[in-house]
Amino acid sequence: MSIADQEFIKESTQANREDVTSLQSASQKFNNPGVQNFVSQFLPVQQQHLQIATALNNGDRTNSSRTPIQYSES
């Protein structure tokens, strides 16, 4: 894997970690049904992205734990 790929994965891991933290914070901070609905739909997606990025960052190239992302329509 190239240095550029490694840097991309490292930055992606950090960005996904920040996204998960922001969504969790918004869920706790705002008592708004729209915010809660948004967080309930996208937090699991971001958590899955973080899991994949972390696995790649740790050298796991197989990542057989991936499952298709399920989106719910509201």
Q: In this structure, are residues 59 and 6 in contact, taking their beta carbons and an 8 Å threshold?
A: no
* CA–CA distance, 14 with 53 (Å, rounded to integer): 9
Q: What percent of the chain has pLDDT over 70?
A: 81
Structure confidence at residue 64 (pLDDT): 46
> pLDDT-derived band of residue 56, with 50, 70 and 90 as boundaries?
confident
Domain ranges of the chain: 3-57
> pLDDT-derived band of residue 57, with 50, 70 and 90 as boundaries?
confident
Structure confidence at residue 70 (pLDDT): 55
